[in-house]
Amino acid sequence: MDHAPRSTDDEYIPSNRWMYTREDIKLRKLNPRQVPTNNIVTELDPDAPLRQGKTLHPDDEPPEQTLLKQIFFFIRRGDIKKAQEICRDANAHWRAASLSGVPDDGTTLNNGWRKACLQIARQGQVDRVERAIYGAICGDLDSVTAVCETWEDQLWAHYNAIYTWKLEEVLYISVLF
């Protein structure tokens, strides 16, 4: 059984993103007659797996999972900057940018960005740890508790959802008056 994603002293994540997937795509382009026998994406953009309904090369999945678990670990600790740093170090700059709607001081909310995070958190085709990352950011309890195993994880998930909801409520009221 998996527990909520934890980091163990900055596990190594290769910076050459999706190397095996990239090589598979190159081979298919070099030999167009090759019959695709797999369900691997045909493009390398970040939305390709979701858009195409396909997966990365199986050898690219473990480093991707390690990256997602480390991001979640630092978000759970409240260290968005470190989560973004890990994304940039792994050449996942797009993912670092997707986390940048999080306020440094926690006193403002970007509602459009939070709605986008909520859509990702509730998208069933997205990896469960990635859903938990965006769920933690927008206060979606269901996506975060899906990766929780301990009572501490559950407590944090509930507190985070309540805190986000209350912050949104206070900010909404302050805009009205």
- Report, as an integer, the average pLDDT of 58-67: 92
- Report, as an integer, the average pLDDT of 57-62: 92
DSSP 97-165: HHTTTS-SSS----HHHHHHHHHHHT-TTS-HHHHHHHHHHHT-HHHHHTT--SHHHHHHHHHHHHHHH
Confidence of residue 100 (pLDDT cuts 50, 70, 90): confident
Q: Average pLDDT of the chain?
A: 85
Residue 13 has pLDDT above 70, yes or no: no
**What is the value of pTM for the model shown?**
0.83
- If DSSP codes are grouped into helix, strand and coil, which group holds residue 40? strand
Domain residue ranges in the chain: 10-100, 103-177
Q: Would you state the torsion angle of the CA atoms of residues 114, 117, 121, 127, taken in this order, to the nearest 10 degrees?
A: -160
pLDDT value for 105: 53
Q: What pLDDT, in 10s, does the model give residues 120-150?
A: 999 999 999 999 999 999 999 999 999 998 9
Is the torsion defined by CA of 112, 55, 95, 152 positive or negative? Answer: positive
